[in-house]
Chain A
Amino acid sequence: MELKSFYMAFTLYSLIQTAILCTNAIAVLHEERFLSKFGWGVDHGVGGFGDDPGIKAQILTLIRSVRTVMRVPLIIVNSACIVLLLLFG
């Protein structure tokens, strides 16, 4: 397949791969061991009531919700990925 050298050809499979990797990366950020050291722990997130929370609170909420919601599906998807990659390379 001749394409130009810098042409990033995306397939849908690479999109799925990217999504799995990014979600994994967000899900492994541990609260106590890691995020608190940067001042991004549990107690630092909830700041503004009433008015809209700032960017940092939104990011922390996003990380926490990804961790909570995607924990079980990520286990399933990662196991399936491992098995498929072992079988089919």
Chain B
Amino acid sequence: LTLQHHKLQPPNSKPRARAAPPTADSVLFDDTSSAAPAMNSQGYYTPGYNMAGPSNNMQGGAGPDLFADPMANAAMMYGSSLANQGKDMVNKEISRFMSVNKLKYFFAVDTRYVLKKLMILMFPYTHQDWEVRYHRDTPLTPRQDVNAPDLYIPTMAFITYILLAGMALGIQKRFSPEVLGLCASTALVWVIIEVLVMLLSLYLLTVHSDLSTFDLIAYSGYKYVGMIFTVLCGLLFGSDGYYVALAWSSCALMFFIVRSLKMKILPSLSPDSMVTGSSAKPQFRLYITVATAVFQPIIIYWLTSHLVR
């Protein structure tokens, strides 16, 4: 059972094409970065070094057949071993701060999951089962469970939003490269603020949920899909279309957030859990969920209104 990662285009237009690394692995936690350069070198073999176009210079280690000179050969082998050492060291350092395996769980998506998730984000009213399924105490990967949070959609949506913002500003002739960077960092800062406030409130009210930091980042990042839809409608249909799309995506996103977080934050409705629940009254948990949901439309309006006059 091999799953192929396609070059994935989200339904929203993205002016920049990105090549997905070809992988043949279907196992989740395998490191495919070492397999990719080998496949690249076979696919992009060029005959001579002098006749290479600019694309060849980016290939890096394109196989020892290229160099007739043995000294250059040896130097390249040495360089690649140094690079490998550096890569191992960087991996070791990074894995001290965050678990890379846990991060890989969030990026284990496929086309079907992305499409279904985008549809749920835009129209969550018909989705029945919101429970995140588990498999022997570990949550299922997004490939197998459509309710699992992932970080692929938020990341792609964030980048698409930045590009869309640049395009919207360019249409209004207000574009400059600094504004683009400012837009990007502002959106990023708002996400960070929201995640920190959520973490703080969950800690203070001693809500023992299994929401990790990455889960919260994922749920915060889902609003970018709504933002992209809103900005697109605003650009296409003028300011009426903007407000209609804002209302629609706000309601959909609020519904989605409340239903998703309700499972994780609010206590389950079994008779004994009400007795052993936290000393914080269950209404505080409800307040957190509702406050998070209400915050989404506010931030969508805040971050997109300046793009659509």
Which residues does A use to contact B, with CB under 8 Å? 1-4, 7-12, 14-15, 48, 51-55, 58-59, 62
Tell me, yes or no, whether B75 is within 8 Å of chain A by CB: no
Partner of A53, one of B185, B206, B208: B206
Chain B residues with CB under 8 Å of A11's CB are 182, 185-186, 189
22 contacting pairs across A/B (C-beta < 8 A): A1-B176, A1-B179, A1-B182, A2-B174, A3-B179, A8-B186, A9-B186, A10-B185, A10-B189, A10-B190, A11-B186, A11-B189, A14-B189, A15-B192, A51-B279, A52-B206, A52-B278, A54-B279, A58-B203, A58-B204, A58-B206, A62-B204
Known pairs A15-B192, A58-B203; list 19 more (Cβ under 8 Å).
A1-B176, A1-B179, A2-B174, A3-B179, A4-B305, A7-B306, A9-B182, A10-B185, A11-B182, A11-B186, A14-B189, A48-B279, A51-B278, A52-B280, A53-B206, A53-B279, A55-B205, A58-B206, A59-B204
Report the minimum CB–CB distance from A73 to chain B (whole Å). 15
Tell me, yes or no, whether B188 is within 8 Å of chain A by CB: yes
Evaluate contact between A3 and B306: CB separation under 8 angstroms. Answer: yes
> How far, in whole Å, are A14 and B185 apart by their CA atoms in the complex?
10
- Please list the 8 inter-chain residue pairs (A to B) with the smallest Cβ-Cβ separation, ordered nearest first: A10-B189, A52-B206, A52-B278, A10-B186, A58-B204, A4-B306, A9-B182, A15-B189
Given A1-B176, A1-B178, A7-B306: A55 in contact with B280 (beta carbons within 8 A): yes
Report the minimum CB–CB distance from A27 to chain B (whole Å). 16
Chain A residues with CB under 8 Å of B280's CB are 52, 54-55
Q: In chain B, what residue has the closest Cβ to A9?
A: B182
Chain A residues with CB under 8 Å of B189's CB are 10-12, 14-15
> How far, in whole Å, are A4 and B182 apart by their CA atoms in the complex?
13
Report the minimum CB–CB distance from A65 to chain B (whole Å). 11
Evaluate contact between A52 and B178: CB separation under 8 angstroms. Answer: no
Partner of A12, one of B176, B188, B190, B205: B188
Report the minimum CB–CB distance from A57 to chain B (whole Å). 9
Chain A residues with CB under 8 Å of B192's CB are 15
> How far, in whole Å, are A4 and B306 apart by their CA atoms in the complex?
7
Report the minimum CB–CB distance from A47 to chain B (whole Å). 10
Chain B residues with CB under 8 Å of A58's CB are 203-206
> How far, in whole Å, are A8 and B190 apart by their CA atoms in the complex?
11
> How far, in whole Å, are A10 and B278 apart by their CA atoms in the complex?
37
> How far, in whole Å, are A11 and B205 apart by their CA atoms in the complex?
31
> How far, in whole Å, are A52 and B174 apart by their CA atoms in the complex?
53
Q: In chain A, what residue has the closest Cβ to B200?
A: A62
Partner of B204, one of A1, A7, A14, A55: A55
Report the minimum CB–CB distance from B272 to chain A (whole Å). 15
Chain A residues with CB under 8 Å of B179's CB are 1, 3
Chain B residues with CB under 8 Å of A59's CB are 204
Report the minimum CB–CB distance from A51 to chain B (whole Å). 6
Q: Report which residue of B176, B186, B278 has the largest number of chain A beta carbons within 10 angstroms of its beta carbon.
A: B186
Q: In chain B, what residue has the closest Cβ to A14?
A: B189
> How far, in whole Å, are A59 and B203 apart by their CA atoms in the complex?
9
Evaluate contact between B185 and A12: CB separation under 8 angstroms. Answer: yes
Against A, the Cβ 8 Å flags (1 = close, 0 = not) of B170-214 are 000010101100100110111010000000000111101000000
Evaluate contact between A62 and B203: CB separation under 8 angstroms. Answer: yes
> How far, in whole Å, are A11 and B180 apart by their CA atoms in the complex?
11
> How far, in whole Å, are A23 and B132 apart by their CA atoms in the complex?
36
